[in-house]
Chain A
Amino acid sequence: MALSKRSKIILFILVMGILTAFAVYLYAMRPPAKIESKTVDFSGSSDDFMTKVKQDASVWGNKVVQLTGKITSKDDKGITLSNQIYCQFRNDVDFSLLIEGEEITLKGRVIGYDDLLEELKLDQCIIQ
């Protein structure tokens, strides 16, 4: 097949156009960022964090935190730190080896303060 120079240029532009459109589509449809890549707004003990939350819980909504604390209870979806912070693990996290009484560090996203159960809720938690 012998393409004229003009055809080659048009073909090239067409291909570049399609690739660009595809890239834009992939970017627009991208899934939410994973917690590993998010910057931490607070890092410290769960007790210290709870003190801050009690002062003003609203500012912590959607913030990513790294907490170290004692596991006071565990259920099938997550664990509770210091009796007041419930941390729901991300679906792919294997937390079966964690036991009550253990100290752990985790990274998670603050959902908000639940006034029905009087605890702070975190999700997307991963073990650090």
Chain B
Amino acid sequence: MKKLLFLFALVFAQTVLAQTYFTRTGVTEFKASVEAFEPVEAKNNSTTAILKAESGDIAAQLFINAFQFRVALMQEHFNENYMDSDKFPKAVFRGKIKDFDRQSIDPNKEYALTGTLTIRGIKKDIEAKINISVTDNKIQLKSSFSVAPKDFGIKIPSIVRNKIAEKINISLDYGLIEKK
């Protein structure tokens, strides 16, 4: 009887630990505005993210053409001239949240997020702080970090050089639910 209970507990523990959380509608925003010029910012509401609760491994990807701008021309230039989204349709992140423990998530702690971001086929290592909170078994991930256009070979013509910030702020807000 004890053996059965032990086995049951082991299987149960394994099932709990092997949880995967995901979203297909994660919000990723970027801002590259320069004061006094028109705002350069866009929002992507269709980010996919998957988190493995046991290891803290996280994989996220978004389609560049799903970034929504207020101005149509800006959206066109972004896709056609800067990002070449026909050739490089996705931006992918593969990384890990350090010290992630599904059983004891601290909403006041700034966890360390590390990984590789691939944009336009170019990889860059990223380190960022990420905030995690849980509501009704939904894990909310929030983080922000900066990248430079030249890190990914994005060439900005000198004519508009002054209108686009040197550092682009990327922020993410993903609400992950359990994958059944």
A residues neighboring B (CB under 8 Å): 28-33, 58, 61-62, 75-78, 86, 88, 111-112, 114, 116-117, 119, 121, 123
A5 to chain B, nearest CB (A): 40
Residues of chain B within 8 A of A28, CB atoms compared: 71, 73
Q: Which residues of B contact A31 (CB under 8 A)?
A: 70-72
Chain B interface residue count, Cβ-Cβ cutoff 8 angstroms: 23
Please state if B24 and A33 are interface contacts (CB–CB under 8 Å).
no
Instruction: Report A-chain residues with C-beta under 8 Å of the C-beta of B48.
Output: 114, 116-117, 121
Closest A residue to B79 by beta carbon equals A62
Separation of A61 and B64 alpha carbons in the complex (Å): 11
Closest chain-B Cβ to A124's Cβ sits at a distance in Å of 9
B contacts, CB < 8 Å to A: 22, 24-25, 38, 45-46, 48, 50, 59, 61, 63, 65-66, 68-73, 75, 86, 89-90
Instruction: Find out whether the CB atom of A123 lies under 8 angstroms from the CB atom of B66.
Output: yes
CA gap between A49 and B80 in the complex, in Å? 26
Nearest-Cβ distance from residue B77 to partner chain A, whole angstroms: 12
A88 to B61, CA, bound (A): 16
Do residues A77 and B22 form an inter-chain contact, with CB atoms below 8 A? no
Known: A77-B45, A117-B48, A121-B46. A111 touches B65 (CB 8 A): yes
Report yes or no: B63 in contact with A111, Cβ–Cβ below 8 A: yes
- Contact present for B69 and A32 (CB under 8 Å): yes
A77–B175 CA distance with the chains assembled, in angstroms: 12
- 13 A-B pairs (CB sep. < 8 Å): A28-B71, A29-B38, A32-B69, A61-B65, A61-B86, A61-B89, A62-B65, A86-B24, A111-B66, A112-B65, A112-B89, A114-B48, A123-B66
- Whose C-beta in chain A lies nearest to the C-beta of B69? A32
Q: State the 3 A-B residue pairs at the shortest beta-carbon distance, nearest first.
A: A77-B25, A32-B72, A111-B63
Contacts of A32 in B (CB 8 A): 68-69, 72, 75
